[in-house]
Structure 1
Amino acid sequence: MGGKDDRDATEPEDRAHVLVVGNQKGGSGKSTTAMHVAASLMAEGARVACLDLDAEQGTLTRYIANRRAYCEARKLRLPMPAFEAVKAAASDSRGAAETEERETVAEVVARLSRSADFLVIDTPGSDNSLSRIGHSYADTLITPLNDSFVDLDVLATIDPESYEVRHPSKYAEMVFRVKMEKARREGGNRTFDWVVMRNRLGQLDSKNQRAMDYALDRLAGRIRFRTARGFSERVIFRELFLKGLTLLDLKDPGSDVKMNMSHLAARQEVRDLMREIGLVNTAE
């Protein structure tokens, strides 16, 4: 498993590896991804912290609160990440609000990093300063993307006839800018690994999937990301939210959820994703 002992020698010892889950389009599965990434890391024995920068929506905040309540009610000892949330600043001045948010996030990230191997940040599904600030801390950026051209629009405008990339989207341009911000803040040529996570992939080959494959391959070389297979459309991901559970928790007999073939297939998708990201040992 990756961790502090095998990081670049120039990285401070008290700095966690930061995984940012980001996409400026709602409904892409950011919070579900963030919680399952955190659970996978904790299952490997890593110390994990989570930061919710989408506190107005608060999905990750509620996910962890549900997990805490479920464990307390059933006296379970499931691994629990350290957790904090940062809300948008209330200042009337846009500049003052952004300065306050930048300072607050910097303080929280530094504090959480001191006692964690990994910090997982869930960002807002819109273009605002907290989203931009959160992205700028990434060592690994995970962008969940439903596998359709409607959702691919968040990354680029695609020609409808040739499926060639016309131009990158505002989100892709923002990712490039925060890479530059990260380099200025941390010095050197530090950047991050960008993983586009393809959710709801069809099980069968189709014209749409071949077109998506082509467009993403062309786009990946242009704006520098790699792709990973994400999660299929499975009801179990939504059902587990109310209990604060993840698919990694279901092997615990106290979870009160009966495993079936769908659960096993979905859990394997989580393991496959973590293997492709490359931060954990996913062997059984």
Structure 2
Amino acid sequence: MTFSGLNGSPERRQRGAHVIVCGNEKGGSGKSTTAMHIAVALLRSGYSVATVDLDGRQLTLTRYVENRRRWSVKAELSLLVPHHFHVPPARKDSVTDAESEEFRQLSEGLAEIESSYDFVVVDTPGADTFLSRLAHRIADTLITPMNDSFIDFDVLARVDPVSNEVLEVSQYASAVRDARRERRQTDNLILDWVVVRNRMSNITSRNEQKIDTCLKSLAAQLGFRIADGISERVIFREFFPIGLTALDEFEEHVLATKPTLSHLAARQEIRQLISALRLPTDERGRNRADIRRKFAEATSRPISLPDIFVS
């Protein structure tokens, strides 16, 4: 799907909106929290941002945005809020009819925002759904949050329990690989895939070292990058009911509580994550996007992952 005619600089209008998809077929990995923080980070950097919730049952990102709007009014705050819409589950007599209806709603929703926003941040359900597969195929940046455990690693690949050698790629990783190839064939763009490690302990354990080794091995095979994400901090769960993020002002009348060192640590984590994503918001990110695009344009044949420009 092509986004064009965006407001902003001529450079952004020519390229179209940058689509960021938070995807993982396992629930509870931090997709919605990550999506909201990325959206607010971009808003605070002066970009226009739309968010899309494709998890029509849980609606976690939708609730997050609603809580933010509500708290902004109640606490009389000037909070930046993204334009938001969600696609509800279609109830039809057949799966084909339901998918057609969901596709129509998603297409119409995107058509309304493609000419008005610089970034589109999409949150997907923790399952293999029709809408999730569509989202992966329009992504420019795919972010796959995972908790730092072999339970979550299993979504990406199977490993030998003794040697920790990667035995086979999972269905989700194979689906991402197919989506990247399809995106390359469709519009000669290379999808940037970033696996984000959430809930990492402050103390490095033997299990973490094993996961780190397996992830690096798999990254070389599949061509994704690795970034540190959100640790196990209660503060991130406390943000949700009032729609705040670690990037908002840490004042008592904003937080409805006294700020702590945990707030500052959470903010630092998010800033480091945003930097690691290398989104096209600064010279480094734009140059990297140019390199990926020029490489794609230089050859007409579909590439077999990994590609050297994803590392």
Q: Tell me which residue corresponds to 2:235.
A: 236
**Number of the residue aligned with 2:107:** 106
Q: How does 1:156-175 map to 2 (within 5 A)?
A: 156-175=157-176
Instruction: Show structure 1 runs of 5+ residues with no match.
Output: none
2:90–2:98 CA contact under 8 A, matched in 1: yes
Alignment of 1:22 onto 2:14: no
CA distance in 2, matches of 1:238, 1:193: 28
1:73-104 CA distance string (max 9 Å, x none): 12211101000000122222222222332233
Matches within 5 A, 1:51-90: 51-90=52-91
Using the size of structure 1 for normalisation, the TM-score is 0.91
Structure 2 counterpart of 1:160, one-letter code: P
Read off the aligned partner of 1:95 and give its amino acid letter.
T
Equivalences for residues 114-129 of structure 1 within 5 A:
114-129=115-130
- Tell me the SS of whatever aligns to 1:23: coil
Note closer, same or farther for the CA distance 1:156–1:6 as it changes in structure 2 (3 Å cut): farther
| 1:26–1:71 distance in 2 versus 1, CA, 3 Å | same
Asked whether 1:147 is paired with 2:114, we answer no
CA offsets 1:96-116 (integer angstroms, 9 cap, x no match): 222332233223223222211
SS class of match (1:231): coil
Instruction: Give the whole-Å Cα distance in 2 for the aligned partners of 1:107 and 1:177.
Output: 25
Contact residue 250 and residue 263 of structure 2 kept, 8 A: no
How far apart are 1:227 and its partner, in Å? Answer: 0.4
Asked whether the 8 Å contact 2:20–2:139 carries over to 1, the reply is yes
Q: CA deviation at 1:170?
A: 0.8
**Partner of residue 302, structure 2:** none
TM-score (norm 2): 0.83
Query: Greater RCO between the two (CA within 8 Å, min separation 6)?
Result: 1
SS of equivalent to 2:247: helix
What's the RMSD between the two structures over aligned residues?
1.9
In structure 2, relative to structure 1, the CA distance for the partners of 1:181 and 1:90 (3 Å cut) is farther
- What secondary structure does 1:246 align onto? coil
Task: Determine the C-alpha separation between the residues in 2 that align with 1:103 and 1:14.
Answer: 24
Deviations 1:221-244 (A, max 9, x none): 111111000011000101110001
Task: Tell me the percent identity.
Answer: 48
Amino acid at match of 1:131: S
SS of equivalent to 1:69: helix
Q: Is the 8 A contact 2:158 2:170 kept in 1?
A: yes
CA distance in 2, matches of 1:112, 1:64: 17
- The Cα of 1:122 is off from its aligned counterpart by 0.3
What secondary structure, in the 3-state scheme, does the structure 2 residue paired with 1:180 have? helix
CA contact (8 A) 2:25 2:127 kept: yes
SS of the residue aligned with 1:136?
A: helix
Is the Cα–Cα contact under 8 Å of residues 20 and 138 in structure 1 kept in the other structure?
yes
Q: Give CA-to-partner distance per residue, 1:37-56, whole Å, 9 cap, x none.
A: 11111111111110000121
Query: Aligned partners of 1:274, 1:27: CA distance in 2, in Å?
Result: 20
Cα distance between partner residues in 2 of 1:55 and 1:133: 15
What is the alpha-carbon distance in structure 2 between the residues aligned to residue 17 and residue 257 of structure 1?
36
**Structure 1 contact 24–127 (Cα < 8 Å) conserved:** yes
Residues of 1 paired with 2:27 and 2:247: CA distance? 25
**Cα distance in structure 2, aligned partners of 1:218 and 1:137:** 27
Aligned residues: 274
Name the SS for the 1:245 alignment partner.
coil
Going from structure 1 to structure 2, the CA distance change for 1:109 and 1:181 (only over 3 Å counts) comes to: farther
**1:98 is paired with a residue of what secondary structure?**
helix
Query: SS state of the match for residue 138, structure 2?
Result: coil
CA shift, 1:5, in A, is 4.7
Q: Secondary structure at the match of 1:259?
A: coil
- Rounded to whole Å, the distance in 1 between the matches of 2:122 and 2:273 is 17
Contact 1:4-1:16 within 8 A present in 2 as well: no
- Aligned counterparts of 2:58 and 2:10: Cα–Cα separation in 1: 35
Kindly indicate whether the alpha-carbon contact (under 8 Å) linking 1:15 and 1:110 is maintained by their aligned counterparts in 2: no
